[in-house]
Amino acid sequence: MSTTVSERQTNFLPDAIGLFYFLAVTAFLVLQTDLVASLTKAHPYLMGFAKFAILATFGECLKNRLVVGHWLPSKLLLRFLIWGIFGLWITAAFPMIDGGVRSLIGLQLWPQEPAPFWMSTWINLFGGFGFFMMLAHYWTDSMLTQGFFPPWQLFGKPQTIRWAKIVIISLFVFWIPAHTLTFSLPPHWRILCAAYLGIALGLILSFASRSK
């Protein structure tokens, strides 16, 4: 019993700091919506980088807390940079998917409604997010612990097969509904919503890459 109490006392301060960090970032975004919106419109790539780096890296830390027992994973700054680059990727991908689907609708080559659902379907199943981006994250995450290796060495490994099954299930159960909500928002708020979803993305991919 004394060991359990000691562990709880040891983890209380880091857990409180983690919770405070998340709540402080969220409170700032809620209270400074006009500032965030204007900065997003003026500097979309910079803000995309910042949102993903700040929020999705928190997802990595939360995963580490749940799996390992402490908050800070190894090579935290590299993880911060990788998530920021994914933020740049999503910043470009969202308007590309939006414009592409609307062009198909305008040419009567795709159903008109519900447009957010079709945008979500395209980005998850055909637009690269569903597997290509997740595979890129899986590769970089693996390299942070194993060192550099070419991406094709991932294929055929038992852990990759488990990872792929979890990712495919998450596409239909979580990501298509979640991105349908995202594409229902005004364009300048989509990246912020995606950054919060990046917390879930970090958890899903990290658990998928390590699941037994």
Q: Residues 63-75: what's their mean pLDDT?
A: 84
**Predicted structure pTM score:** 0.83
Q: Which residue, chain included where needed, has tokens 């800070």? A: 72
- Domain residues of the chain, as ranges? 2-210
Residues 6+ apart with CB under 8 A from 125: 171, 176
Q: Residues 176-198: what's their mean pLDDT?
A: 90
State the pLDDT at residue 47: 93
pLDDT of 189 over the 70 cut? yes
- Closest by CA position to 191, among listed 61, 78, 68, 54: 54
State the pLDDT at residue 2: 45
Q: Residues 160-168: what's their mean pLDDT?
A: 83
